[in-house]
């Protein structure tokens, strides 16, 4: 009697956290670029996916990886796999205006 091993295809997506206001739930905006069939210009479209975040690890602006899972609620079909990049915030003591100045090479004075 041979046991058959089946490999599952794991569907994962990478996106930015758009909202983390709910408990154990995040909304992730996944970006995809496609070419317009007539004008051949590239268009950016976004899809908002609701994902389960068990430990409330992700915050708004973070870059995260989510994986497809069984239905967890009416709209939740995704689960947070990992936080890839943490977004700077005011709570960390970092002002986004100073980040833009540092990227420009400092002030002109």
**Three-state secondary-structure class, residue 26:** strand
Regarding predicted confidence, which is higher, 45 or 93?
Answer: 45
- What is the full DSSP assignment across 47-69? EEEEEE-TT----TT-EEEEEE-
**Three-state secondary-structure class, residue 4:** coil
- Structure pTM? 0.73
Contacts of 44 (CB under 8 A, 6+ apart): 31, 32, 33
What is the share, in percent, of the chain residues with pLDDT greater than 70? 78
Contacts of 50 (CB under 8 A, 6+ apart): 25, 26, 27, 28, 75, 76, 77, 78
pLDDT band at residue 8, thresholds of 50, 70 and 90?
confident
User: Please, what are the domains in the chain?
Assistant: 12-104 (2.40.50.140)
Contact call for residues 69 and 78 (beta carbons, < 8 A): yes
Mean pLDDT of 79-100: 75
| pLDDT in the model for residue 9 | 85
Mean pLDDT of 44-57: 96
Regarding predicted confidence, which is higher, 105 or 62?
Answer: 62
pLDDT digits (tens, 9 = 90+) for 57-78: 999 999 999 999 999 999 999 9
């Amino acid at each position: 009697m041979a046991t058959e091993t089946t490999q599952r295809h794991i569907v994962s997506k990478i996106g930015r956290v758009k909202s983390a206001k709910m408990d154990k739930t995040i909304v992730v905006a996944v970006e995809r670029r496609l070419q317009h069939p007539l004008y051949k210009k590239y268009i950016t479209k976004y899809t908002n996916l609701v994902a389960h975040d068990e430990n409330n690890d992700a915050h708004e602006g973070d870059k995260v990886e989510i994986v497809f899972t069984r239905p967890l609620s009416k709209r939740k079909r995704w689960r947070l796999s990992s936080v890839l990049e943490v977004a700077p915030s005011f709570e960390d003591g970092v002002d986004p205006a100073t980040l833009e100045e540092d990227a420009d090479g400092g002030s002109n004075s």
